[in-house]
Structure 1
Amino acid sequence: MTIPYKTIIIDDEPPARDRLLKLLGHFPDTFHVIAEAKNGREAKQKIEALRPDLIFLDIEMPGLTGFELLAALETIPVVIFCTAYDQYSLKAFETNGIDYLVKPVRLERLEKTIKKLKSLDKQFSSQNFSNLLKEISKQKEVKKMTSITVKKAEKLVFIKLEDVSHFEASEKYVTVHTKNEQHLSEQSLVQLEQKLPTNFLRVHRAVIINTDYVKDVQKYFNSRFIITLNNQKMSNITTGRSYNEAIKVWMGV
């Protein structure tokens, strides 16, 4: 009889953790969930204490991303990434016994992951994976952008980041809000977040703000905040609960 993988689910969103836990319950011979973690720091403590065989790991988490968590571990278990963004180029990890699932995770896709685990788990190399993480880190250490290019009619227009109050995602495009104008960008928030300077902060899955434009911050229900930006519209941004830790770090509270 095959011993199931001791498994930890790591995701900052409770509904995502609950869904995955329910799906894994269909495969008790493969997965034995021993813990859950709601952020990277908590996950690091539980991984080091419980020594799981396998983790389901969200990539975008406030405070400590999935990649940063893995880079901080001495021993890396088998990893299955869970991401809401299929733009991530994670196929290189598959040869190391690693897979990735696009949220919302579906039962039939999880079945493919199990087949992959059975055929590839012996090939997993913690050292090879560490090398891949280093390559990702190098790619992220590119020079931070100072302007963004947008299309306006048939022209390409360069907008200085100091003039951008916030970025807001909707469907296929991201709206670039300046002091008194709006433009569309084909870059995703994930792509922008990797290149923007440190004064830009992700406060919601669909919003990145320029903290230099923050006029005030008010507490809101369900442990959220309303951030007012000092642009022409005096935009009010309601934050997402999963970004609280990063917001509090920025505010110094």
Structure 2
Amino acid sequence: MRPALVFLDIHMPAINGFDVLKGLEYTPTVIFCTAYDEFALKAFETHCVDYLVKPLTKERFARTVEKIDQLVGETGTTTNLNKLIEQFNQEYRKHEATSIPVKVGDRVVFVRLDEVSYFQADEKYVTMVTKHAKSYIMDGSLKKLEEKLPAYFMRVHKSYLLNKNLLKEAKKHFNNRFVLVLDDYSQTKILSGRSYYQAIREMLDY
């Protein structure tokens, strides 16, 4: 298989993107897509088409698609633009964050994200609750937090982000809602918001 277009990361578990290119017997069209901006100069020395820094935005990715269109002379490649961006961003989040810093008095502690059961927002703060029922108060908003979290965290209500890996049970509720039961110390139950009904159904393959 010789793909004509390759999206390539810089840092990968066994080998870096530059070494991958060196090992190829042909020269594909390459777009680097990485979380690091310090390798841009070296990337363009390999004659890549573009250098994208994750997480991606629709506008930035659209410019890349235009470049590809000009190179290959094809049209209609923007049809699944939003889907492609979401896939890239999910992969980025999924592999990037393993813990989250939290201020506790005059200290900063790092909590493993796979130990977090859910995040709950009120008017001023966000409360992070671990699966062992330990709570931490955080500044900020769920929206900003959601952008930084791995893909296994899901927004199910305007005030709740939960860890899908701890989802034990989903009970259909009236008025397009679900009661979501988490496999944590408290067997937490979260009532989903109506606007998240379809996303939850797709996640459950319901």
TM-score range, shorter chain: 0.5 to 0.7
Tell me how far apart the structure 2 counterparts of residues 221 and 144 of structure 1 sit (CA, whole Å). 37
Q: Aligned letter for 1:148? A: I
Tell me how far apart the structure 1 counterparts of residues 166 and 130 of structure 2 sit (CA, whole Å). 10
Q: TM-score, normalised by structure 1?
A: 0.44
Does residue 158 in structure 1 map to residue 88 in structure 2? no
Q: Aligned letter for 1:245? A: Q
Aligned to 1:178: 130
Aligned to 1:250: 203
CA drift of 1:227 comes to 0.3
SS in 2 for 1:249: helix
SS in 2 for 1:167: strand
Aligned to 1:123: none
CA drift of 1:68 comes to 5.7
CA drift of 1:252 comes to 1.2
Does residue 144 in structure 1 map to residue 85 in structure 2? no
142, 154, 157: which one pairs with 1:201? 154
Aligned to 1:238: 191
Identity of aligned residues (%): 39
| Gaps in structure 1 of 5+ consecutive residues | 1-66, 73-132
Moved over 6 A (4+): none
Residues 100-115 of structure 1: pairs in structure 2 closer than 5 A: none
Tell me how far apart the structure 1 counterparts of residues 96 and 58 of structure 2 sit (CA, whole Å). 19
Q: TM-score, normalised by structure 2?
A: 0.54
162, 165, 176: which one pairs with 1:212? 165
Tell me how far apart the structure 1 counterparts of residues 176 and 195 of structure 2 sit (CA, whole Å). 10
173, 176, 179: which one pairs with 1:223? 176
Tell me how far apart the structure 2 counterparts of residues 207 and 183 of structure 1 sit (CA, whole Å). 15
| Gaps in structure 2 of 5+ consecutive residues | 1-56, 63-80
Could you list the per-position Cα deviations for residues 28-56 of structure 1 after superposition, in whole angstroms to 9, with x for gaps in the alignment? xxxxxxxxxxxxxxxxxxxxxxxxxxxxx
Q: Aligned letter for 1:239? A: S
Q: CA RMSD in A?
A: 3.0
Q: Aligned letter for 2:156? A: V
Q: Aligned letter for 1:194? A: E
Tell me how far apart the structure 1 counterparts of residues 172 and 145 of structure 2 sit (CA, whole Å). 27
Residues 86-125 of structure 1: pairs in structure 2 closer than 5 A: none
* Alignment: residue pair count: 125
Aligned to 2:36: none
CA drift of 1:187 comes to 3.0
Aligned to 1:125: none
CA drift of 1:221 comes to 1.1
SS in 2 for 1:231: coil
Could you list the per-position Cα deviations for residues 93-146 of structure 1 after superposition, in whole angstroms to 9, with x for gaps in the alignment? xxxxxxxxxxxxxxxxxxxxxxxxxxxxxxxxxxxxxxxx9xxx7xx6576321
